[in-house]
Chain A
Amino acid sequence: MSRAPALPSGRWHAAEAIPWLLAIACFFLFPGYRVLASHVFIAALFALSLDLVLGYAGILTLGHAAFFGLGAYTAGLLAAHGWGEPFSGLALAAAVAALGGLAVSFLVVRGTDLARLMVTLGVGLLLYEAANRAAWLTGGVDGLSGVAMGKLFGVFPFDLFGNAAYAYTLAVLFALFVFTRRVAASPFGLSLRAIRENRARMPALGAPVERRLVAAFTLGAAIAGVAGALLAQTTQFVGLDTLAFHRSADVLVMLVLGGAGRLYGALVGTAVFMVAQDRLAGIDPVYWQFWLGLLLVAIVFVARGGILGAADALRRRLRR
């Protein structure tokens, strides 16, 4: 019998150490950018959660910020009402976001791409308006202030320079990346890819497609909730923009820019997007919006698979 070719093994490649070592090195190399860096890590985690939903399971969503915001408000409200312990806040935020994701998932898994798009868009807008109107709870347009965080492990306070935030967000990102990576290499991850490739064929293998998609969507929502909670905890503030449509659109762009359906796409795309935004939007926000639009059009027409997809194609050409 011939030898079986490689399957997703979840084994680590040496090159995979590079981004993480780089992330640690940045702490020392660019001390002035620690706050920005923690925002990049949070956005990367958010993009990673979308990768699970869109990149792996193939569910098109325009309302992923709903779960980011749910997590952010959960963690923020907990801390504002005296529960400042960060890790339990994260866990509760994940649970609330997962519950929200579970509820929405039943509307999402059945429909066509268009129905999914409308439902996710609608739920996102609905939550945004709900938070906007429920000012007694959320602070409305002024945002939720009075978020008083406890110390990490009861020892390290969240400081203005983002030192604790840097370590905290990077550690949570890494932990959930390892988890997501494991899920992606598992039979469950394989079945999600198969659903993305050919949904109609899956029932003929005996696969309960809707149940799988519910699981994937809920898991993605939970991780998005953790990302939102991280933002609330490290900035000690929750604004309405955590639920805004542009956040859903931005995270979509970050993921597609890096390359959807490959875990590192979420990290690379986010880093490039956030740094570019920091540089360009500072100069002129209108130009930034224009270039962002052009970038999207360009990705669709010339660079499918994003940065990592293009890198793969280049590597294949060089090898030949």
Chain B
Amino acid sequence: MYHPGVIGVLFDGLAYGSLLFLVSLGLSVQMGLMNFVNLAHGAFAMAGGYVCALAATRLGVPFLAALPLAFLAASLAGALLERLLYRRLYGASALDQVLFSIGLTLMSIAAATRLFGASQQPVRLPELLRGQLHFAGADFGIYRMFLIAVVAALTAALALLVGRTRFGAQLRAAVDDARVARGMGIDVDRVFTLAFALGSGLAGLGGALGIEVLGLDPTFPLKYMVYFLLVVVVGGAGTLAGPLVAAAILGVCDVAAKYYLPQLGAFAIYAVMVALLIAFPAGILGRRA
């Protein structure tokens, strides 16, 4: 069996983790800012993935040009659903939010199956991003390097957006205390919609970038739901750094388990998950008091 070595595992794990991080960011904002347990977040990632795949196969749009389309489509869907449905459940019980978002997930799975079939979607990467680089005794997939670079750049941009812009200041104020923020004259509803759209868009971009790594079929939202939730719960909602670290740990653990303990399969990652949840009970949902 092909074995990438320790460095290779770390590298693949980081690439995988950066994808998880990209998709989970929106969920982190929803759970931290709106207190919304959105189990349907993966559906937005899937939507982005399908836009990218179909734009490439049916319209002949090149992969790199299809990525922004995936972002736009997913953020549009996010904004629309936030205005129409999500918004009404911000104060609702966790049960209502869970039921609603599971319902949305099931509908998205059924719709995707009906429209695009149950099979995996192919993706054609540009020549530039294919192949491997070999140095320091290990192979590095060029596409995975591209992934890490894109997510690193986006994270830096987001840090600037949150730290330096007016929207970022409003977002931080709203995360801290929505009531106070409203009192200060911030249009919190608008901030919510924008944040939701941005998070959904990033998820869509993650879904598109992830076709090569995670695959894309209609069961995507359920298959990866736990991973996204875990990144947020372990990392703490409403921050940038927490989920980043959590996603990296999770990505490396998952890849390492697949290489070193293939007989355990997904068991290993679920065991890590339960262990993490036991080690960091309730308080891990890092809303600052």
- Residues of A in contact with B (beta carbons under 8 Å apart): 54, 60, 62, 107, 110-115, 117-119, 121-123, 125-126, 129-130, 132-133, 245, 249, 252-253, 256, 286-287, 289-290, 292-297, 299-301, 304
Contacts and interface: CB of A to CB of B under 8 A. Distances in A.
Interface in B174-233: 222, 226, 229-230, 233
A249 B102 contact: yes
A143 B109 CA distance: 26
B233 A129 contact: no
In this complex, the member of A118, A286, A287 whose beta carbon has the largest number of chain B beta carbons within 10 angstroms is: A118
Nearest to B88: A301
Nearest to B110: A290
Contacts of B96: 300, 304
B249 interface: no
B267 A293 contact: no
B128 interface: no
Given A115-B281, A129-B266, A300 B37 contact: no
Nearest to B264: A133
A111 B282 contact: yes
Given A118-B233, A122-B277, A113 B270 contact: no
Interface of B: 31, 37, 85, 88-89, 92-96, 98-100, 102-111, 113-114, 222, 226, 229-230, 233, 263-267, 270-271, 273-274, 277-278, 281-282, 284-285
A119 B106 contact: no
Given A123-B274, A129-B270, A297-B104, A114 B99 contact: no
Contact of A294 (B88, B107, B273): B107
B236 to A, nearest CB: 12
B274 A119 contact: yes
A185 to B, nearest CB: 24
Contact of B281 (A111, A121, A256): A111
Contact of B89 (A112, A252, A295, A300): A300
Given A121-B226, A297-B104, 4 more contacts: A114-B37, A252-B99, A290-B114, A300-B99
Given A118-B233, A245-B222, A60 B95 contact: yes
A125 B100 contact: no
17 contacts: A112-B285, A115-B277, A115-B285, A119-B277, A122-B226, A122-B270, A122-B273, A125-B266, A126-B267, A126-B274, A129-B266, A286-B113, A290-B107, A290-B110, A290-B114, A292-B103, A300-B92
B282 A133 contact: no
Given A112-B282, A129-B266, A118 B103 contact: no
A114 B237 CA distance: 11
B110 A286 contact: yes
B224 to A, nearest CB: 12
A296 B226 contact: no
A60 B98 CA distance: 9
B284 A256 contact: no
Contacts of B277: 107, 115, 118-119, 122
Contact of B229 (A118, A126, A300): A118
A130 B268 CA distance: 10
Nearest to B96: A300
Contacts of B229: 118, 121
Contacts of A113: 37, 93-95
B105 to A, nearest CB: 7
A132 B265 contact: yes
Contacts of A304: 96
A254 to B, nearest CB: 12
B267 A129 contact: yes
Most chain A CB within a 10 A radius of its CB, from B85, B92, B270, B278: B270
Contacts of A114: 31, 37, 94, 233, 285
B110 A133 contact: no
Scoring B85, B98, B271 by chain A CB atoms within 10 A of each residue's CB, the highest score goes to: B98
B88 A60 contact: no
A122 to B, nearest CB: 5
Contacts of B93: 113
B103 A300 contact: yes
B282 A297 contact: no
Residue in A125, A245, A253 with the greatest tally of chain B CB atoms within 10 Å = A125
A117 B110 contact: no
Contact of B114 (A132, A245, A256, A286): A286
Contact of B100 (A121, A292, A297): A297
A295 B110 CA distance: 13
A126 B93 CA distance: 27
A122 B17 CA distance: 19
Contact of A54 (B95, B104, B233): B95
A73 to B, nearest CB: 16
Contacts of B274: 119, 122-123, 126
Contacts of A115: 233, 277, 281-282, 284-285
Given A129-B270, A245-B222, A300-B99, A289 B281 contact: no
List the 10 closest A-B pairs by CB distance, nearest first: A296-B103, A293-B106, A293-B107, A290-B110, A113-B94, A129-B267, A111-B282, A297-B103, A289-B110, A126-B270
B102 A296 contact: yes
A256 B98 CA distance: 12
B88 to A, nearest CB: 7
Nearest to A292: B106
